[in-house]
Amino acid sequence: MVVKTVVSVVLGALFFLYFYLKLKKAETIRNELSELLSVTSSDWEAILSSLKREIKEKKQKDNIHLLSQALNLLNEGLVIMSPSGKLIYTNRFARELLDIGKKGYKDKYFYQAISDLDVITFINENFNGDYNVWESKKIKNRYVQLVFASDINEKVLLLRDLTQIKRYENLKKDFIANVSHELKTPVATLKLLLETLEDECEENNQAKEFILKAQDRIKHMEQLIQDLITLTMLETSKGLLFENRKINLSSLIEKIADETSVIAKNKNIQVVSYLPESLEVFGDERLFHFVFKNLIDNAIKYNHNGGKVEIRYSTLPKEQVVSVCDTGPGIPKSHLPFIFERFYRVDKSRSRKLGGTGLGLSIVKLAIEKLNGKVDVESEVGKGTCFKVYLPYG
């Protein structure tokens, strides 16, 4: 009887507790609902605006993180600075190349974070400019092109890795140099053999005709090999010790005109120099010879029979100009941007017939660059072509 009474009391207490909690929960929900219902429309707008802002910030952070990961995968360096020169962002390649710490670089000035003095100098010299390029610099066994650009909001340093391109160029130069030298001996041997055969076939006209044709091709091969060797020497400076001394350019031009006089006479072409007799320039005589021998030789070869070649001199405030002009057929405008490229020919069949290798103007451009000058061309179809060589004073 007592047990039944106790059980009844416990069950009653549990039922009471259950209904009490239910009522309490219902009251809490009612209170929360009343709070929500009491929120005004302006408060709802503020809540929604805050949620949108948080979502937008999260998306921006995610996008920045993805962009940073993508930039770190590039084999190009990127350094972004504030207008005052403080670092804002650097990617992995730039940090490794310039020894910038992964953390703690932000808000440091570029000269505090970067260890390479040449790079610091490059940034400093161009800091107030809009755009400048340093074509090639070696940093940690890598060849890098430096590009500096700026606007009102930030300044950017871009480091382009040219290592593979440089390796390819060096391999190509070495290959051309080796092939040229290897071919020189067998071509000289063939030339000697053909000269011997020519003497033996004096009475056989048909055989002699074939031998003369073969000799012409050998001469073309010799010229091609020599041009390749010259081009390689100018590119690598191997085998050439450049001298910087005073040269009488007028005398050199007269010497070249005499060297090309046989071709000029065969075509009845008049070569006239209007250079001052006392005209002196500074540089290596062989380089000047490469330049003007090729230009005068071309002006004669690609001229009309009975034409004229004129060498003139003029001055500019910062440069002196030597022009080599002919009265030939001229060069179409579409070809002018490419004529200094290797093996480029305006008229391929005519060029081969005249013994051209397609390397002469490439040699001219390289030699002029070694003399700290530049070369340009003006041409009009039917009237002629004029090559202008710009040289610094002194």
Question: Could you say which architecture CATH assigns to the domain 165-236?
Answer: Orthogonal Bundle (1.10)
Report the distance separating Cα 157 and Cα 152, nearest Å: 15
Pairing verdict, β 270-273 and 308-315:
parallel
- Which class in CATH covers the domain with range 245-392? alpha beta
Whole-angstrom distance, CA of residue 152 vs CA of residue 330: 48
pLDDT tens for residues 130-151? Answer: 888 887 777 887 888 888 888 7
> H-type helices in 159-260, by residue range?
163-200, 205-236, 249-259
Q: Domain 67-161 is classified in which CATH homologous superfamily?
A: PAS domain (3.30.450.20)
pLDDT digits (tens, 9 = 90+) for 94-141: 888 887 877 777 878 888 888 888 888 888 888 888 888 887 777 887
Which pLDDT score is estimated for 67?
55
pLDDT of residue 230: 77
CB neighbour list of residue 88: distance below 8 Å, 6 or more residues apart: 80, 81, 82, 106, 154
- Angle at CA 67, nearest 5°, toward 61 and 73? 140
Q: What is the per-residue pLDDT across 180-217, written as a single tens digit (0 to 9) for each?
A: 777 777 878 888 887 787 777 777 777 778 877 887 77
Structure tokens at 164: 């593979």
Q: Please state the domain extents for the chain.
A: 67-161, 165-236, 245-392
Note the pLDDT tens digit of each residue in 351-380. 555 556 778 888 888 888 888 889 999 988
CA distance 299 to 309: 6
The answer to whether the predicted template modeling score (pTM) of the entire model surpasses 0.85 is: no
The two structure tokens encoding residue 138: 């070696």
